[in-house]
Structure 1
Amino acid sequence: MTDSKAGILLMIGACSIWGLSPIYYKLLVHVPPLELLAHRTLWSLVVFAGLLAVQGRLGQLRKALSTGRNVAILSFAAVMISANWFLFIFSVQAGHVTETSLGYYMFPLVSVLLGVIVMKERLALLQWAAVLLAAVGVVQLTWGLGAAPWISLVLASSFGLYGLVKRRLSTGPVVSVTGEVALLAGPAALYLLWLHTHGAGVFGADVSTSGLLVFSGLLTALPLVLFSAAAQKLSMATVGLMQYLNPTLQFFCAVVLFGEALPGYHVIAFGMIWLALALYSGTSLAQDRARRKRLATSVAEAPL
């Protein structure tokens, strides 16, 4: 099997797990979101730290946490990803999976906007048109809902800020995420201890619930490992396009499996954002092909 085919299969696996994860959280609708988040944090640390130990890379984790700058970056990233996880869990349990899928569709365009504002990156005219079209979609959805789509906006923004700050780290994704959950593990453990001392914790109440809570660690770690492996085998353009499988599967869960309503204004907003993504992705692919063509030409014309 070629690297490209292997990368595509790995990426499909990662995005499928992420996209179908609302099914898992629906099974734990009886567990309060904050308690579920605390368990996800602790069991994720167990899985990630165990993986690094097997690979002999725990030293990299210690190095990542050895400087004040890295700890500050990882702390901010930890706050962003925990806020994202909490809102996602809450939204699924409350029956707002349509809004979560919209948020993850919006995320790439929010990341682009953050890149322009913070990193001073430049966009082509058609890419600006895509960003503006997505903004019109959000305004239209706000008009239809009678309020801003806060769930979608916060999910997209928190994940965008998370990705932005992670660019300032030289450590790999598994090491950095392990550092993030390690920083969150103390508060999570104290919260669960407080719950259980007051007789409110659900862990241990029944085998199925406890097993599902433990499984949250693998559910968090496995797609990230698959994604990291896929990213090493595929171009960034391919990785970016395939990530849309995640919100597409979330949308499928919301409408087909969970029977969430899909009003007309939602359809229009989704249509605008899908069109914006198609426009931006098409432009990005064209730029990527042109860049590779220039590189190939320069290599071919280079003197021996």
Structure 2
Amino acid sequence: VPALEVLSFRIVFACLFSFILIAYFGELRSFLEHFKSKSTVILTMLSSLLITINWFVFIWAVGAGMVIESSLGYFMTPLVSLLLGAVFLKEQLSRYQMIAGLLAVLAVVVELVLLGKIPWVSVALALSFGMYGLVRKQQKIESLHGLTIETLWALPVAVCVLIYTQKTTGSVTSFSASTYGLLAFSGIVTAVPLLLFASSVRKLNLVVAGFLMYLNPTMQFFTAIFIFGETAPLQRFITFGIVWLAMLFFIYGMVKTYRGRSRA
């Protein structure tokens, strides 16, 4: 299934699943209240655009056999978020966080020098998700409601894409039952992990949350190598080495910060 169609189905089913959850928990009234706020409408439109871009690049990368490069992007995401927070929110960076952020920038430069090209999939994923986090941070909105609104804004475009695809190629109605099952399941596996992470991160300390951020790209990396059989040039592992070093500085900085707050 082409990436654009996978994305469209993912949006449709994620929106449907999230809306069903809101109805099940009896939160329809409070959900509709969000549309009375002009700032919420504008910010959720922007976050919807950013997360849609992120999803599309990732789906395309998987189909193109670039899962290793996508995992590099998600390793870089927390570091990009650090830099965005410092630039736009004037957040103070510790010495270790600053080193981690600079190492992330160095990794992209090294990739450009050694391989002669910018790892655009990695950069696009890290920037889009980092900026998504930055926009979501400005919204005082619960995670389930936020995800539902974001997929709701993208829903008309997704439906139009599927209608156009059906009219031009007839592919939408030609999929097997198992393919439809996987496409529907993609909506659930989009919503559930995001909601569980958003819920759990509020109950965990900073260090554990920091480790959790790196579980996803680590699993992607090993999936690419041991399940999909992807190979990467040696130069790419130099890039990964720099990013993993940045990750250690990032987590060590979080440990120091957490200990300091605990003592205080």
Q: CA deviation at 1:215?
A: 1.1
Counterpart check, 1:224 vs 2:194: yes
Say which is worse superposed, 229-238 or 49-58, in terms of deviation.
229-238
Q: CA deviation at 1:228?
A: 2.6
| Residue number in structure 1 paired with 2:218 | 248
Counterpart check, 1:281 vs 2:251: yes
Judged with a 3 Å threshold, the aligned counterparts in structure 2 of structure 1 residues 46 and 234 are, in CA distance, closer, same or farther, namely same
| Residue number in structure 2 paired with 1:187 | 157
In 1: Cα distance, 2:185 partner to 2:96 partner? 43
Kept in 1, the 8 Å contact 2:96–2:252? The answer is no
| Residue number in structure 2 paired with 1:167 | 137
In 1: Cα distance, 2:225 partner to 2:175 partner? 32
Q: Which runs of 5+ in 1 are unaligned?
A: 1-30, 295-304
Query: SS of the counterpart of 2:106?
Result: helix
Match of 2:22 among 22, 33, 52: 52
| Residue number in structure 1 paired with 2:208 | 238
Q: Which amino acid aligns with 1:81?
A: I
Say which is worse superposed, 120-129 or 89-98, in terms of deviation.
120-129
Counterpart check, 1:41 vs 2:27: no
In 1: Cα distance, 2:172 partner to 2:239 partner? 39
| Residue number in structure 1 paired with 2:105 | 135
Question: Which residues of 2 match residues 1-304 of structure 1 at below 5 A?
Answer: 31-294=1-264
| Residue number in structure 2 paired with 1:17 | none
Q: Which runs of 5+ in 2 are unaligned?
A: none
Q: Which amino acid aligns with 1:234?
A: L
Query: SS of the counterpart of 2:43?
Result: helix
Q: CA deviation at 1:210?
A: 1.2
Q: Which amino acid aligns with 2:254?
A: S
In 2: Cα distance, 1:149 partner to 1:265 partner? 12
Kept in 1, the 8 Å contact 2:162–2:172? The answer is no
Kept in 1, the 8 Å contact 2:210–2:254? The answer is no
Q: CA deviation at 1:49?
A: 0.2
Please, what TM-score do these two structures have when normalized by structure 2?
0.96
**What is the CA RMSD across the aligned residues, in angstroms?**
1.3
Bigger Rg, structure 1 or 2? 1
Kept in 2, the 8 Å contact 1:91–1:100? The answer is yes
Judged with a 3 Å threshold, the aligned counterparts in structure 2 of structure 1 residues 83 and 181 are, in CA distance, closer, same or farther, namely same
Q: Which amino acid aligns with 2:75?
A: Y
Q: CA deviation at 1:218?
A: 0.9
Paired residue total? 264
Q: Which amino acid aligns with 2:233?
A: P
Q: Which amino acid aligns with 1:172?
A: E
In 2: Cα distance, 1:114 partner to 1:176 partner? 21
Kept in 2, the 8 Å contact 1:133–1:273? The answer is yes
Query: SS of the counterpart of 1:191?
Result: helix
Q: CA deviation at 1:203?
A: 4.0
Q: CA deviation at 1:67?
A: 2.1
Say which is worse superposed, 177-186 or 231-240, in terms of deviation.
231-240
Judged with a 3 Å threshold, the aligned counterparts in structure 2 of structure 1 residues 264 and 68 are, in CA distance, closer, same or farther, namely same
In 2: Cα distance, 1:133 partner to 1:233 partner? 30
Say which is worse superposed, 86-95 or 262-271, in terms of deviation.
262-271
Say which is worse superposed, 198-207 or 209-218, in terms of deviation.
198-207
Q: Which amino acid aligns with 2:15?
A: L
Q: Which amino acid aligns with 1:118?
A: F
Q: CA deviation at 1:76?
A: 0.5
Kept in 2, the 8 Å contact 1:204–1:210? The answer is no
Kept in 2, the 8 Å contact 1:84–1:158? The answer is yes
Q: Which amino acid aligns with 1:51?
A: L
Query: SS of the counterpart of 1:198?
Result: helix
In 2: Cα distance, 1:239 partner to 1:127 partner? 15
In 2: Cα distance, 1:163 partner to 1:35 partner? 25
Q: Which amino acid aligns with 1:47?
A: F
In 2: Cα distance, 1:220 partner to 1:156 partner? 18
Query: SS of the counterpart of 1:278?
Result: helix
